[in-house]
Chain A
Amino acid sequence: MSSVEERVQKIVVEQLGVKDEEVTPEASFVDDLGADSLDTVELVMALEEEFETEIPDEDAEKITTVKQAIDYINAHQA
Chain B
Amino acid sequence: MDNQIALVTGASRGIGRAIAAVLGQQGMRVAGTATTEEGAQRIQQELSSQGHEALGLCLNLTDTASMDAALERINQTFGAAPLVLVNNAGITRDNLMMRMKDEEWDAIIATNLSAVFQLTKRCMRAMTKARYGRIINITSVVGFSGNAGQTNYAAAKAGLVGFSKSLAREIGARGVTVNCVAPGFIDTDMTSSLPEPQREALLKNIPLGRLGQAEEVASAVAFLASAQAGYITGETLHVNGGMLMD
Interface residues of A (CB under 8 A from B): 36, 38, 42, 45
Please tell me if the beta carbons of B173 and A38 are within 8 angstroms of each other in the complex: yes
> 1/0 per position for B113-134, CB-CB distance to A under 8 A?
0000000000001001000000
Instruction: Check A38 against B174 for contact (C-beta < 8 Å).
Output: yes
Chain A residue with minimal CB distance to B170? Answer: A38
Contact A45 B174 (CB under 8 A): no
Q: Does B206 contact A (CB under 8 A)?
A: no
Q: Is the CB of A42 within 8 A of B173?
A: no
For window 201-240 of B, CB contacts with A under 8 Å fall at none
Minimal Cβ-Cβ distance residue in A for B129: A42
Closest A residue to B172 using CB positions = A38
CA distance A50 to B5 in the complex (A): 25
Q: Which residues of B contact A36 (CB under 8 A)?
A: 173
Minimum CB–CB distance for B81 against chain A, Å? 14
Question: What DSSP secondary structure best describes chain B's contact surface?
Answer: helix
Could you list 8 examples of A-B contacts with CB < 8 Å?
A36-B173, A38-B128, A38-B170, A38-B171, A38-B173, A38-B174, A42-B128, A45-B125
- CB under 8 Å from chain A, chain B span 135-180: 170-171, 173-174
A-contact bits for B180-200, CB 8 A (1 contact / 0 none): 000000000000000000000
- A residues near B128, Cβ cutoff 8 Å: 38, 42
Residues of chain B lying within 8 A (CB to CB) of residue A38: 128, 170-171, 173-174
Q: CA A45 – CA B121 in complex, angstroms?
A: 13
B203 to chain A, nearest CB (A): 46
Q: Which residues of chain B are within 8 angstroms of A42 by Cβ–Cβ distance?
A: 128
Task: Give A36's nearest chain B residue, CB to CB.
Answer: B173
CA separation between A37 and B170, bound complex, in Å? 9
Distance between A13 CB and nearest chain B CB, rounded to angstroms: 15
**Interchain CA distance A38-B171 in the complex, whole Å:** 8
Complex: A45 Cα to B174 Cα, angstroms = 15
Q: How far apart are the CA atoms of A45 and B125 in the complex, in Å?
A: 9
A38 and B127 alpha carbons, distance in the complex (Å): 13
Residues of A within 8 A of B170 (CB): 38
By Cβ-Cβ distance, the 8 closest A-B pairs, closest first, are A42-B128, A38-B173, A38-B170, A45-B125, A38-B171, A38-B174, A36-B173, A38-B128
Residues of chain A with a CB closer than 8 A to B171's CB: 38
Tell me which residues across on chain A come within 8 A of B125, comparing CB atoms: 45
**CB-defined contacts of B174 to chain A, threshold 8 Å:** 38
Mask: chain B, 82-94; 1 = CB below 8 Å from A; 0 = not: 0000000000000
Q: Which residue of B lies closest to A46 (CB)?
A: B129
In Å, the complex CA distance between A38 and B174 comes to 9
Q: How far is the CA of A27 from the CA of B162 in the complex (A)?
A: 37
Closest approach, in angstroms, between the C-beta of A33 and any C-beta of chain B? 16
Residue of A nearest to B128 (CB): A42
Q: What residue in chain A is nearest B171 (Cβ atoms)?
A: A38
Give Cα A36 to B128, complex, Å.
14
B122 to chain A: closest CB distance in Å? 13
